[in-house]
């Protein structure tokens, strides 16, 4: 998470949405950088609102505008699936080395998924108070990061150059039509959120 005080912006870090590279590029210009531990780096909206926003408001009387990125749900799950195929996870409960993508997604849709499919939810991460679909001021799509970069370059008055970081291993994956339909039925808010983004 990054906070730019003068520009009144806070960039929240949704896992697997390309924000690690962006944060690395912008950290030198940020006023607050939270890169560790992961529980603070990836602070969901409800915790940000409860703790950080209240702190800012009490100390200064203002709340920074919030920014986040959301990824198309199947693509987001595919990134997690590939990321957990890393050789260093072999034999670990989080490894997806021995499951196919359909199995991974079906497990993800369960109330209590197995460790390898327990990757959270973009919709829960970004939900606002009173079950509002999106609790951030500016939500950008992962497949339109150029719009986010243009927004930040204008607000921060700087050129952004990023390197690829925290990238999932390359692997062709495909989701069957039946499982894709099941995912949409079980997790509709994930898709609603993505479709509501810029």
Secondary structure tally for the chain: helices H, strands E: 10, 5
Instruction: Evaluate if pTM is beyond 0.85.
Output: yes
The pLDDT tens digits for 66-92 are 999 999 999 999 999 999 999 999 999
More confidently predicted of 40 and 183: 183
Once rounded to an integer, what is the mean pLDDT over residues 135-159? 95
In order of their start, the domains of the chain are: 2-196 (3.40.50)
Q: What's the mean pLDDT in 107-125?
A: 97
What is the reported pLDDT for 161?
87
107-119: average pLDDT: 97
68 backbone dihedrals φ, ψ, rounded to 5°: -155, 165
CA 12 – CA 74 distance, rounded (Å) = 21
**Mean pLDDT, range 88-102, rounded to an integer:** 95
For 32, list phi and psi in degrees, rounded to 5: -130, 130
pLDDT at 171 exceeding the cut of 90: no
Task: Tell me the pLDDT tens digit for each residue of 27-53.
Answer: 999 999 999 898 899 999 999 999 999
Picking from 23, 16, 109, 120, the residue whose alpha carbon sits closest to that of residue 70 is 16
């Amino acid at each position: 998470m990054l906070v730019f005080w003068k520009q009144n912006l806070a960039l929240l870090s949704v896992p697997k949405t390309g924000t690690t590279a962006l944060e690395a590029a912008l950290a030198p210009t940020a006023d607050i950088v939270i890169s560790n531990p992961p529980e603070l780096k990836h602070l969901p909206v409800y915790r940000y609102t409860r703790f950080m926003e209240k702190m800012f408001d009490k100390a200064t009387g203002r709340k920074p505008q919030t920014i986040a990125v959301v990824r198309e749900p199947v693509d987001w799950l595919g990134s997690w699936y590939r990321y957990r195929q890393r050789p260093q996870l072999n034999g670990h409960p989080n490894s997806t080395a021995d499951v196919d993508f359909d199995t991974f997604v079906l497990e993800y849709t369960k109330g209590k998924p197995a460790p390898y499919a327990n990757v959270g939810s973009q919709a829960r991460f970004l939900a606002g108070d009173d079950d509002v679909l999106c609790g951030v001021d500016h939500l950008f799509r992962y497949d339109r990061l150029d719009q986010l970069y243009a927004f930040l370059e204008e607000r921060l008055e700087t050129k952004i150059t990023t390197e690829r970081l925290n990238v999932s291993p390359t692997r062709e994956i495909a989701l069957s039509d039946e499982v894709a339909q099941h995912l949409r039925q079980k997790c509709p808010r994930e898709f609603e959120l993505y479709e509501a983004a810029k």
